[in-house]
Structures are given as structure tokens and as C-alpha cells.
Structure 1
């Protein structure tokens, strides 16, 4: 049985990060494309394992079991984190008859394994989804292990505003941005303290962005641009007394 175990813990992420460069993607076409799907985990699902997108507890962050890891060909060096997909099983006796398609959010990376040549679905240039077992068994039978699918990018429907989790230290501030609606993924991000102008942030990994300016004691605003070119300013989301390790929710979304 071809059961995949592609969930990437934070401890080994940096080893895999250099392998995660995009080799082409259909994320911006809006049309259906061919891929394959496997699954990981068991029917208890997943909980607090931090993967290659930087998300933490997927239940608390609103993603739950409706998630997928992406192969290198789709991961786009982490910039595809947060993208939503519609996936349906096709052209296999293992597809559930008349099963509806499923909607999932990209929250992790399925790493390639160049030491094997057979049954390694996440090796480039293959487009592959490693679903939670909960989502896989909605479209195919558990015993299948791997099935051909068709997928397309769809808008993300999120409840509430965009959220910002502050990490790092006073001299290297990192921000995880999540619960992003519509496009779902962030392509550019800036930060502004109450005593500064807008400062461009660098893409660190997954959906974590960083800046090397000490902004402790200043209220923080964020300017976020998603991959469809839309930009929103989230003004004074974090008060001057913000703390590392805390999450601050805006009242806006895309």
C-alpha cells in the first residue's frame, strides 16, 4: 500500500528547504491540471506539528484536516502556502463513485526522495498532493494508496480577518501571516512601526516574513500583497505593547 508520510517537522525543514525550488507550476492558470494524490496520518488526523509553511496548530488556525502538502513542482519555494485547491479523483477504479471534489488548503511540503526511483510521487517534475487521510478517503478508497486526480486553484473562503503571529527577537522580527482569503498566498509584505515608514520584509520561509529593524514598543501595521496583485494595509493591528509569540487579528480580509 502506497501510504505517504510527507509531513515535514520544523527540525528537518532547513535540510529540505534547498530542495524546494519551484520547477514550474499551474497555480496561476485557474484551470484543471493532472496530478496524483496520496495521504498521510491516520483517522485521528493532525494536530500541532509545524510544517514547511510555518503554520502551527492547524485546528486553532482554522485549517483543521482540510489540508494538503505539495510536491516541489507546486510548492513554489513556500510561496504557495495558503493556496486553496479543488481536487477530484479521476480515471481509477479506486475513485469513490459519484464522490464530490474536496477543497483543501496548502499547509506543508512533500519532499522529494532522490534515493528512490519508484513510487516517490513528490519527486520533480511530478505534480502531487499529499492529503490528510480524512480528505483522501472522501474521493478514493483507503486501500488505493495513490490515485490520479485533477486539481485547480480556487478562491479561499476564510472566517474573520487576516492574522499575524509575531516571532523572532527585537533585532530580527519574523511574522507568520495566515487566514488569508481569496488568493490565499502572500507574494509581498511590508511592516510599519508607529515611528517608521513602510519597511519591506523579506520572504524567510513558508509564509513567514522578516525584517531586521527593532520595532519593539511601536504599534505595528502590515501591508500585504497576494499573488493576484491585490494589496491591503492592516493599520495598527498589533498595539505598542505587542509581544513575541502572540497572534494579532485584523478586521480586514481579501
Structure 2
């Protein structure tokens, strides 16, 4: 029986290793950029982060096509991206940058997949800021072939919780997430409650219909890899809506 258990454990670890290896492999896609006044994406996207500079994502942000966006489940994930296979448009040496998924690039079925409908299913496409795009390719290019892969997110400081809503509709935006970058589950706890599971409202906005005013708040957050981090009493009992509080990091 002992040998059987060891064998099962080895097989599980082997399978996990295969999954991780596949996730780290370079995949093929395309990239374009959005032109803004300062060359950087600062407007609110489909993930609900608001001003991306205040959310610490800044110019290294990207909108993802439907296949990659996963209905908002990929919000906050980090991707390493490099321009490849184009001697005119790609920067010499194919330098790579890391971008964070902050927005959705919607399909445009009025245009062909290979002529303007860059985000149509099943294309794997990144819509980047002009400043980030310029680090891997020439700005004159309208679209470039790329390779991309998932990587861990390197963040400074802890998770950030921005409290929104009202006494009957409590919502929290979770940003600055390290490790996977993706949040798959969130819970909140007041001093007078147990742990309350929250539902994803949209992007990385999580909600519950419980009045938590006048209570210090704790948060439990689970990443897509299954790791959980708990931040106790990060918001004092006199917290106010639209305030941001910092907790632990993965």
C-alpha cells in the first residue's frame, strides 16, 4: 500500500510538471496598439481597474481577445510578449516585455479575421499601449506577429482592496495581485460576521449583499493556482467607501 501511495504521488507531481511546462511554453499570436496622448493606456478597461497608473499597471497593460480574456477571468494575469518573425517591424533581438491583462479587445465580425478583425474568435491577440508596443516593434507597424507566455506577476507591496458600493451593496476591487495575477475566489469578514463568500461582479470587482459598515474588515483571496492569502483587519472599523487598503501579498 505504501508503494502504491508513493506511485500515485509521483504521477500527480509528474502531471503538474507537464501542466506548468505547457503554461510556460511560448505560443503564437498577434499584437497591435492603441494610440493615446501620452502613448500609454490610462482609461478604465473591462477589468474595472480605473486609472491604470494609479492601479500600478500603467503603460504595460493590454486588452485581450475573447479566447485569452476568458470573460474577465484572466484580468490581472501577466504575459511575457515578444515580436517575432518580421525583420522590418520587430525590434532587433526580439526583446520581451511583461504586460498585465487589464481590458477586453472585442471582436469585430464586420471585418475579416486577417484584415481588421484582429480580436475575432479564435485569434489570440494583444491590444497594447503605444509605449509598450514600441518596446518590441516599430510604431509604423499596424499589426505584428508575436510569441507570448504566462509568467508570474512581480508586484511591489501587498494586495490592494478598494471598497465601493453602499450599505446594501458591498463591492471591493482587488488590484496589485502578485503570483498568478488572477483571483478566482474572494471572501470578506467583519468583526461581527463569519467569512462571507463574494461573487465576481465584473473583472476583478467582487460583491456581497451584507452591511459591513462600522466593522473592521478582513479579506481572504484565492489565486488561480489554488493559493490563498488572508489579510486580517486591513480596514479599520471607521472605513469609508472609495477608500483603498493594503493587505498581504502572495
**TM class, shorter-chain normalised?**
0.7 to 0.9
Counterpart residue number, 2:199: 202
Unaligned runs of 5+ in 2: 1-19
Map 1:206-217; keep pairs closer than 5 Å. Answer: 206-217=203-214
Q: Is 1:99–1:138's contact at 8 Å kept on the other side of the alignment? A: no
State whether structure 2 residue 219 is matched by structure 1 residue 222. yes
Counterpart residue number, 1:9: none
How many residues get paired?
227
**Alpha-carbon distance change, 65 to 48 in structure 1, aligned in 2, over 3 angstroms:** closer
Q: Is 2:84–2:146's contact at 8 Å kept on the other side of the alignment? A: yes
> Which residue of the other structure, out of 92, 97, 100, is the alignment partner of 2:95?
100
- RMSD of aligned residue pairs (Cα, Å): 1.5
SS in 2 for 1:29: helix
Deviation at 1:29, TM superposition (A): 2.0
Q: 1:211, 1:176 → 2: CA distance?
A: 12
CA deviations on 1:31-73 (whole Å, 9 max, x unpaired) are 2111100000236134642110010121122111111111110
CA deviations on 1:160-183 (whole Å, 9 max, x unpaired) are 010000111111111100001111
Unaligned runs of 5+ in 1: 1-25
State whether structure 2 residue 138 is matched by structure 1 residue 144. no
TM-score, normalization by structure 2:
0.87
Deviation at 1:220, TM superposition (A): 0.8
Q: 2:37, 2:28 → 1: CA distance?
A: 27
Q: Is 2:84–2:94's contact at 8 Å kept on the other side of the alignment? A: no
Counterpart residue number, 1:116: 111
Q: 2:39, 2:91 → 1: CA distance?
A: 21
Counterpart residue number, 2:238: 241
Deviation at 1:109, TM superposition (A): 0.9
> Which residue of the other structure, out of 23, 26, 32, is the alignment partner of 1:29?
23
Q: Is 1:43–1:133's contact at 8 Å kept on the other side of the alignment? A: no
Q: 1:62, 1:45 → 2: CA distance?
A: 16
Map 1:164-175; keep pairs closer than 5 Å. Answer: 164-175=161-172
Counterpart residue number, 2:66: 72
Counterpart residue number, 2:34: 40
